[in-house]
Amino acid sequence: MQLAAPKGSEPLLREFYEGVLGLREAPKPPELAERGGVWFRGDGVEVHLGIEEDFRPARKAHPAFLVDDLAAYGDEVPDELLPGYRRIYVSDPVGNRIELLQPV
């Protein structure tokens, strides 16, 4: 999946996607690394954050990640729209919407 980010935000993105979500930074091919941005991998997922000159955070479209301890990320919003899961929405450091799910 691809999300956009503003120029210079790579350190903040690393803190969140590695430090908070537990993903690992993935190497970018040299010709793409020159453009900035950062890639991450986890079990069964790869997230590419590309630099966008006129950046606007994704507020509706969003990736969803399964987590083991939803409470560690914040207060869940109870709903019946996704049976079998508890969930919350958080924002990454640049404002992109992220859904976190925990099976019940």
Q: Compare 71 and 75 and report the one with higher pLDDT.
A: 71
In the chain, where the domains are located = 2-103
- For residue range 23-56, what is the model confidence (pLDDT) as tens digits? 999 999 999 999 999 999 999 899 999 999 999 9
The model's pTM is 0.88
Instruction: Locate 68 and state its tokens.
Output: 């083991």
| Residues 5-22: b if buried by 16+ CB within 10 A, e if exposed | bbeebeeebbebbeeebe
Q: Compare 19 and 104 and report the one with higher pLDDT.
A: 19
| pLDDT attached to residue 46 | 95
Q: What is the CATH number of domain 2-103?
A: 3.10.180.10
pLDDT-based confidence at residue 71 (cuts at 50, 70, 90): confident
